[in-house]
Amino acid sequence: MKIGGFQSLTLSDYPGRVAAIVFTQGCNFRCPFCHNGSLLPLDVPADAMLEEATVLETLKSRQTFLDGVVISGGEPTIQPDLVAFIDSIKQLGLLVKLDTNGTHPDVVRDLLAGRLLDYVAMDIKAPPVKYAQLTGVDTPIERIKETVRLLIAGDTPCEFRTTFVPGLLTTEDLETIRASLPDETTYTVQPFVPGNALDASLRSQKDHSLPNVGMPVSMNGTESTDHIPHHIDWLSGE
């Protein structure tokens, strides 16, 4: 596993649970609003990452007061050994929440089939016609739709969420995404935090208020937690 960061405690990233966060290194998207520039490259030196064994040992030492672990990124599902890593966490008796951009339905399918996930949060970046613009890459939209279908069809608790970036998304875009999901699914709109956006032209954006669209709003912001390691505790620095 390529692990770029670790947060030893969060009360807001796993609904109703006390958790740690593992930030995997590398992402297949380049969302212009991303705040995790340092977690995007896959080819970082080994000494800039955390040892998987060290992370597992740390989780083991804290298993009595943690409910679970959030696996975030970067994009966790591009890690070839993700299933084995999550299996190791489950063997510690901890719950696992996966944060994903949905580009690897095969990995999500395997994890769900193996009962290795207890909660999944999936980003839906935009309506299909805007996906490339909001992700910075030629997006495999059918794979994303397949992951949505898998999560909706399964019995693992899940939520979908969108970061609202004024100027890139509109209220109608949010309504389009919401309408594409069954009514009973949890869908949350997150505020854009411009400070460290990947696209420098967005950093000075003053208007990052959320539209009033009658959808739940996440102010703790997975865009500021699962996708922004704002309190990474590098193990050596704890």
Binding residues for ligand SF4, rule: CB under 6 A, are: 27, 29-31, 34, 36, 40, 73-75, 101, 227
Contact 238, 8 (CB under 8 A): yes
Gap between the Cα atoms of 9 and 221, Å rounded: 16
CB of 167 to ligand SF4, least distance (A): 16
C-beta of 31 vs 66, nearer to ligand SF4:
31
Residue with Cβ nearer ligand SF4 (178 or 227): 227
| Closest residue by Cα to residue 17 from 61, 86, 66, 56 | 66
Minimum distance, C-beta of residue 76 to ligand SF4, in the bound complex (Å): 10
Which is it for the CA torsion 201, 203, 205, 207, positive or negative? positive
Kindly tell me which of 161 and 178 has the beta carbon lying closer to ligand SF4. Answer: 161
Query: Least distance (Å) from ligand SF4 to the CB of residue 108?
Result: 15
Q: How many Cβ atoms from other residues are within 10 Å of residue 179's Cβ?
A: 9
Shortest spacing between CB 115 and ligand SF4, in angstroms: 26
* Residue 210 to residue 30: CA distance in whole angstroms: 22
- Least Cα distance to 229 among 43, 67, 85, 25 occurs for 25
Nearest approach, Cβ of residue 145 and ligand SF4 (Å) = 16
**Residue from 108, 128, 132 nearest 120 by CA:** 108
Nearest distance from C-beta of residue 77 to ligand SF4, angstroms: 11
**C-beta closer to ligand SF4: residue 58 or 135:** 135
CB–CB of 137/28 below 8 Å?
A: yes
Non-local (6+) Cβ contacts of 168 within 8 A are 32, 33, 126, 130, 133, 134
In this complex, which beta carbon is closest to ligand SF4, that of residue 76 or of residue 90? 76
Choice between 31 and 177, CB closer to ligand SF4: 31
